[in-house]
Amino acid sequence: MLSLRERAIKAAEEERERRSMIEANFATEAKKEFQKRFGEVSDLDVKPITPSMAKVTADGLSFTAKRECTECGEHIRFYIEVKCSECGKMFTHSKPCETLADIGYRLESPGICKACWMKRLGNITLEREPLIKTVIQKNKKSGGEKEMNLREKAIKAAKEHEERIKKSKQKAAEKFAARAKKEFEETFGEVVDSVEPISENEARINTGDFSIIAIKKPKDVIMYRDLYPVETLEGRKSSAERALELLTKTLEIIEEERGGE
């Protein structure tokens, strides 16, 4: 029969083996997830740290892979290491990279490390310095372009993502402007001279001497001028015009009272 010492040592060895196996399994899973999420990488190395954490190195970039639990279940998230824009030291970014574009955003605007952030809080001036943007030059070789590494692909993906968002917002703004123009002409029976898209929820309608802002509401488009909803042509009058009408009516009342004396 084994003594307590012997059983304890044996249990410790078994636990180390079990832990080592779990760490290796997580590293393998993290590697597959990294390739699935960010694409094939020529130089990819994953080293286990704990049963739920691993160090990932890809094309010169370093990440920390973590298994995290959320309301939707367990997920592996990747946190990139970037250079602090103030002290120049490497630190792990607090936001995970879910897409290739996320990696590009972190590289372009790395932000500052916790130590520099705490230093800023202690600084009375609290002046925020502009973030240093990393500019990546494309390396070319004779006979054609060199295949992009993960850093270059990430920054390219971030720029393409921003361009898609910009085009999508512009398209939505133009669509709303067309709708606002159509509803304005149907409501007031007047032809619009021009319409200027402002955003996906606002448009400027120009007709005659009037400029009216159309604002998108959940169920309808309401025309605005001077922050007053326009429901009739009478409502399209400016503040100065409304003030002049009020003054004219007031003078008429005064004249009528004088005539009755």
- Tell me the pLDDT tens digit for each residue of 102-159: 999 999 888 889 888 888 777 644 444 443 344 334 444 444 556 788 888 888 888 8
In the chain, how many domains are there?
2
**Mean pLDDT across 160-184:** 88
pLDDT of 71 over the 60 cut:
yes
Confidence (pLDDT) at 135:
39
**To the nearest 5 percent, what fractions of the chain are helix, strand and coil?**
45, 25, 30
Domain-embedded: residue 2: no
**What mean pLDDT comes out for the span 9-22?**
92
If asked whether residues 188 and 121 sit together in one domain, one would say: no
Residue 242 scores a pLDDT above 80: no
**Same domain? 111 vs 179:** no
**Same structural domain, 27 and 112:** yes
Whether the Cβ atoms of residue 32 and residue 121 lie closer than 8 Å to each other:
no
CA distance 26 to 23: 5
93: left (phi over 0), alpha (psi -120 to 50) or beta: beta
Distance between CA atoms of 133 and 155, rounded to whole angstroms?
Answer: 11
Residue 161, domain member (yes or no):
no
For residue 220, what are the domain limits? 174-260
85 within domain boundaries: yes
Q: Are residues 24 and 88 in the same domain?
A: yes
- Nearest partner of 30 among 66, 84, 71, judged by Cα: 66
Residue 189 is assigned to a structural domain of this protein: yes
Same-domain status, 17 and 109: yes
User: Looking at residue 23, what is its pLDDT?
Assistant: 93
Q: Give the whole-angstrom CA distance, residue 204 versus residue 223.
A: 9
Is residue 76 included in any domain, yes or no? yes
By the 8 A CB rule, do 146 and 140 touch? Answer: yes
Lowest mean pLDDT among 66-70, 83-87, 243-247: 243-247
Cβ pair 75, 68 in contact under 8 A? yes
**What mean pLDDT value characterizes the chain?**
80
User: What does the pLDDT average to over 245-255?
Assistant: 72
Residues 111 and 193 in one domain: no
Is the same domain home to 192 and 120? no
The whole-number pLDDT of residue 232 equals 55
Do 95 and 199 share a structural domain?
A: no
Q: Is residue 159 part of a domain?
A: no
Model pLDDT, residue 83: 92
112 plus 23 within the same structural domain: yes
pLDDT surpasses 60 at 205 = yes
In a domain, 204, yes or no: yes
Question: To the nearest whole percent, how much of the chain has pLDDT over 70?
Answer: 77
Residues 118 and 203 in one domain: no
Structure-token pair, residue 142 = 């004779």
Residue 7 covered by a domain:
no
Within 8 A by CB and 6+ apart from 127, the residues are none
Q: Are residues 95 and 189 in the same domain?
A: no
